[in-house]
Amino acid sequence: MTNAIAIGMAFAFLFHQDYGLFNVILGWFGVDGINWIGGTSSWIAQMSALLVYTVWSGLAFKILVFTSGMQNIDKQYYDAAKIDSASKWTVFKRITVPLLSPLILYISITSMIGALKAYNSVIGLFGTQLGAQPYSMITIVAFVYGYINQLSEISYISYASAAAIILFVITVIFSLIQGVVSRKRVHY
């Protein structure tokens, strides 16, 4: 639960081409250092670094939510499944997942919204250049901010406004889809 910019800067250090931890570990296996986030790095290298950073930074909250959900499941369900000699997979599929389905819905909606509004993590990891130019890691929020900062012409503000509205519509569409799916899959 720390600042996304600070975590991004720490991961930028870990992924540094010359002295980053990931390249040191690759060097132990005889693999040359990869330029993960700098000038000539490939899109796959940049996306891999962003994926590792995103999973690491968001995992703690999700673990806390699911741990609290698991602790709130009544033990009588598991005892009944044990008496019926249900397999672990059946217990997971028929008891644990249905009882955690409201939390799964909550995590999926908040994760999708968080992914759509990603900006701090990309800035923290790649800097204001947003990665290598042919494969820039620009997000829709970075697109909006980029056009807002170019206030010399009024037409740029209209681009930023249009992008913000598109982001809102995409977020609403994903939330509605998850709401429709949740009617069949979420058990309260």
> Is residue 150 over pLDDT 70?
no
**Rounded mean pLDDT, 72-77:** 91
Fold designation for 4-185 = MetI-like fold (1.10.3720)
What residues have CB less than 8 Å from 32, skipping those under 6 apart? Answer: 26
pLDDT at 134: 57
pLDDT at 41: 65
Alpha-carbon distance of 91 to 73, in angstroms, equals 12
Q: Is the pTM of this model over 0.75?
A: no
Farthest CA pair distance, the chain: 72
Q: Percent of the chain at pLDDT above 70? A: 88
| Amino acid making up residue 46 | Q
> Is residue 131 over pLDDT 60?
no
Select, from the ranges 10-19, 58-67, 132-141, the one with the highest average predicted confidence (pLDDT): 58-67
Structure tokens at 187: 């058990």
| Dihedrals phi, psi of 165, to nearest 5 degrees | -70, -40
Q: Which residue has the tokens 């741990």?
A: 67
**Rounded mean pLDDT, 6-27:** 83
Domain edges within the chain: 4-185
Q: Percent of the chain at pLDDT above 90? A: 20
pLDDT at 115: 83
pLDDT at 6: 80
Alpha-carbon distance of 121 to 124, in angstroms, equals 5
> Is residue 90 over pLDDT 90?
yes
pLDDT at 108: 87
The single-letter DSSP state of residue 96 is I
> Is residue 67 over pLDDT 90?
yes
**Rounded mean pLDDT, 158-181:** 87
Instruction: Give the alpha-carbon dihedral of 139, 169, 152, 135, to 10 degrees.
Output: 20
> Is residue 2 over pLDDT 70?
no
User: What angle do helix axes 43-71 and 97-116 make, rounded to 10 degrees?
Assistant: 140
- Report the Cα 132 to chain-centroid distance in Å: 21
